[in-house]
Amino acid sequence: MTKRLLTLLALCCLLGAAQTCCAEVWYVDPDGRSGNAGTADAPWDIGSALGGRQKVEAGDTLYLTAGTYRRRPNELFEVRLVGSAEHPIQVRPAAGQRARIDGGLSVQSPSQHVWIRDLEILVSEPLPHKPVSPGSHPKDLSRPAGGLHMHGGKGCKYINLIIHNCNQGISCWKNELNPEIYGCIIYDNGWLGTDRGHGHCIYTQNEEGVKLISNCIMSCRFDGTYTLHAYGSERAYVDNFLAEKNVCYGKGPFLIGGGRPSHNIRVFGNYLYDVDMRIGYSAPYNEDCEIRDNTIVNGGLNVVRYRNVRRQGNLVIPKDGQRPAGVKTILLPNRFDENRAHLVIYNWAKAKKVEVRAERFLKDGEPFRLKDPKDFHGPAVARGKCRAGKITAPAESEFAVFVVLRGG
The number of angstroms, rounded, from the C-alpha of 302 to the middle of its chain's C-alpha atoms is 24
Spatial neighbors of 135 by CB under 8 A, at least 6 apart, are 193, 195, 198
Residue-level pLDDT at 408: 86
211 and 342 co-located in one domain: no
C-alpha pair distances (Å), 181 with each of 5, 99, 201, 255, 374: 42, 19, 12, 16, 18
- Average pLDDT taken over every residue of the chain: 95
Q: State the Cα–Cα distance between residues 90 and 56, nearest whole angstrom.
A: 10
Q: What is the CATH number of the domain that holds 32?
A: 2.160.20.10
List, for residues 160-211, the tens digit of each pLDDT value. Answer: 999 999 999 999 999 999 999 999 999 999 999 999 999 999 999 999 999 9
170 and 202 co-located in one domain: yes
Flag whether 311 is in a domain: yes
224 and 293 co-located in one domain: yes
List, for residues 14-60, the tens digit of each pLDDT value. Answer: 445 444 457 999 999 999 999 999 999 999 999 999 999 999 999 99
Flag whether 43 is in a domain: yes
Q: How many domains does the chain have?
A: 2
DSSP run (H or E) holding 52 = none
62 and 148 co-located in one domain: yes
Residue-level pLDDT at 67: 98
Using DSSP, state whether 283 is helix, strand or coil. Answer: coil
Q: State the Cα–Cα distance between residues 404 and 393, nearest whole angstrom.
A: 10
Residue-level pLDDT at 142: 93
Flag whether 339 is in a domain: yes
> Is pLDDT above 60 for 3?
no
Neighbours of 90 (CB within 10 A): 21
Confidence of residue 1 (pLDDT cuts 50, 70, 90): very low
List, for residues 261-280, the tens digit of each pLDDT value. Answer: 999 999 999 999 999 999 99
Q: What is the CATH number of the domain that holds 334?
A: 2.60.40
Dihedral Cα 63, 69, 75, 80, nearest 10 deg: -10
- φ, ψ dihedrals at 260, nearest 5°: -100, 140
Q: Which of 292, 317, 342 is the last residue of a domain?
A: 317
Nearest alpha-carbon partner for 161 in 189, 184, 188: 184
Exposure string over 232-269, b if 16+ CB within 10 A, otherwise e: beeeebbbbbbbbbbbbbbbbbbbbbbbbbbeebbbbb
237 and 259 co-located in one domain: yes
Flag whether 11 is in a domain: no
Using DSSP, state whether 61 is helix, strand or coil. Answer: strand
Pairing relationship of beta strands 170-172 and 147-150 according to DSSP bridges: parallel
Using DSSP, state whether 286 is helix, strand or coil. Answer: strand
DSSP run (H or E) holding 302 = strand 301-303
Residue-level pLDDT at 168: 98
291 and 346 co-located in one domain: no
DSSP label of 364: T
181 and 61 co-located in one domain: yes
Q: What is the CA radius of gyration of the chain?
A: 22
230 and 355 co-located in one domain: no
125 and 147 co-located in one domain: yes
Q: State the Cα–Cα distance between residues 308 and 68, nearest whole angstrom.
A: 49
249 and 386 co-located in one domain: no
Flag whether 267 is in a domain: yes
Exposure string over 355-366, b if 16+ CB within 10 A, otherwise e: ebebeebbeeeb
| Terminal CA-CA length for the chain | 54
Sign of the torsion formed by the C-alpha atoms of 283, 286, 290 and 293: positive
Residue 196 is which amino acid?
A: R
The range of the structural domain enclosing residue 361 comes to 328-406
Q: Which of 317, 350, 372 is the last residue of a domain?
A: 317
Q: State the Cα–Cα distance between residues 24 and 315, nearest whole angstrom.
A: 48
Residue-level pLDDT at 396: 83
305 and 343 co-located in one domain: no
Neighbours of 310 (CB within 10 A): 11
Flag whether 6 is in a domain: no
Q: Which of 296, 317, 338 is the last residue of a domain?
A: 317
List, for residues 327-340, the tens digit of each pLDDT value. Answer: 999 999 999 999 99
Neighbours of 196 (CB within 10 A): 12
Q: Looking at 304-375, which runs of residues are DSSP E strands?
A: 306-312, 315-317, 328-334, 337-346, 353-357, 367-371
137 and 113 co-located in one domain: yes
Which stretches of 155-295 are DSSP H helices? Answer: none
Flag whether 353 is in a domain: yes
Confidence of residue 4 (pLDDT cuts 50, 70, 90): low
Flag whether 156 is in a domain: yes
